[in-house]
Amino acid sequence: MQTQRLRIAIQKKGRLSKECQDLFKRCGIKFNLMGERLVVHAENMPIDLLLVRDDDIPGLIMDGVVDLGVIGENELEEVGLERAALNEPCDYTKLRRLDFGGCRLSIAIDKDEQYTGPRDLQGKRIATTYPQLVKRYMDEQGVEFSPCMLNGSVEVAPRAGLADAICDLVSTGATLEANGLKEVEVILRSKAVLIQRTGEFSADKQALIERILTRMQGVIQAKE
Ligand code: ATP
Ligand code: ZN
């Protein structure tokens, strides 16, 4: 069901939400996010903001339910690989990389354990929220592993005896250190990105997207 209004999906609450909201506000889109609404109408442009869990954003774009979305590359690539494996739609267009949400997806092991390279992970069980990205990396390295899928508390898995290693998002490394782990491989460097669904757009929507992109260019340059 396509609407005349441009639909943009952003994270409702979390590490990307404030910077996302600020970015679109600086692009001149006026909206009021008071309350618990899923859809917020912009006051001065034919735009609706959809406030959702970040996990849902890649699928909403790949299914063509929303027109634009802001998402971390880690989540975007994980969902893309998962959908490709299931033969589900997984196309999208990356419009631009943004200047926030920076982090890395890294493998970490017990800080007292020896490490010389990916071969040391042969046959190990790796706890992660990103099984597809871990598998892609380990396949590239020609190293076999067992997954341990966790949507939270990944960093405590080794201490809890659930896994030998973890693969999780890191920004400062403080969480790893607090859990007696050391970072041994970076498998992805991620930032937030603006993505667009594939397929046709009305001339009006296309013009609006171009206007937003032009403004975004100015906003991001002004910050640099
Ligand atoms: P939601 O409730 O929307 O599912 P979430 O808990 O999955 O939220 P957040 O923790 O808010 O997600 O992280 C969202 C994104 O922020 C991550 O996918 C990643 O791209 C980015 N990010 C930046 N730094 C970090 C970090 N240190 N740890 C986790 N994510 C980070
Ligand atoms: Zn999430």
Strands 68-72 and 192-196, bridge-based pairing: antiparallel
- Whether residue 84 contacts residue 136, with contact meaning beta carbons closer than 8 Å, is answered with no
pTM of structure: 0.96
6-101+191-223 and 103-190 in the same fold: yes
Ligand 1 neighbours, Cβ below 6 Å, are: 11, 14-16, 53-55, 72, 74-75, 101, 103, 169, 171, 190
Domain ranges within the chain, ordered by starting residue: 6-101+191-223, 103-190
pLDDT computed for residue 35 by the predictor: 82
Strands 145-149 and 124-128: parallel
Residue pair 107/126 in contact (Cβ under 8 Å)? The answer is yes
Tell how far the Cα of 131 is from the centroid of ligand 1, in angstroms.
Answer: 16
What is the per-residue pLDDT for 1? 62
Find the 212 Cα to ligand 2 centroid distance in Å: 26
CATH of 103-190, one of 3.40.640.10, 3.20.20.70, 3.40.190.10, 3.40.630.30: 3.40.190.10
pLDDT (0 to 100) of residue 211 = 97
**What is the C-alpha to C-alpha distance for residues 6 and 103, in angstroms, rounded to an integer?**
29
DSSP conformation class of 82? H
- Cα–ligand 2 centroid distance for 113 (angstroms): 31
Pocket test for ligand 1, best of 19, 51, 54 (most atoms within 8 A of CB): 54
Measured by CA distance, the residue closest to atom 30 of ligand 1 is 169
* Ligand 1 atom with least separation from CA of 102: 23
Which residues, listed in sequence order, are joined to residue 194 by a DSSP beta bridge?
Answer: 70, 96
Distance of CA 160 to CAs 153, 156, 166, 181, 221, Å?
A: 10, 6, 12, 13, 46
Dist. CA 217 → ligand 2 center (Å): 27
The CA-based dihedral angle spanning residues 35, 38, 41, 42, taken in that order and rounded to the nearest 10 degrees: 80
What is residue 3's predicted lDDT score, i.e. its pLDDT? Answer: 74
Q: Does the domain made of 6-101+191-223 have the CATH classification 3.20.20.80?
A: no
Q: What CA–CA distance (Å, rounded) separates 14 from 33?
A: 14
Q: What ligand is nearest to the CA atom of residue 72?
A: 1
Per-residue pLDDT of the chain (224 residues; tens, 9 = 90+): 667 999 999 999 999 999 999 999 999 999 999 888 999 999 999 999 999 999 999 999 999 999 999 999 999 999 999 999 999 999 999 999 999 999 999 999 999 999 999 999 999 999 999 999 999 999 999 999 999 999 999 999 999 999 999 999 999 999 999 999 999 999 999 999 999 999 999 999 999 999 999 999 999 998 88
Burial degree of 39 (CB within 10 A; 0-12, 13-18, 19+): exposed
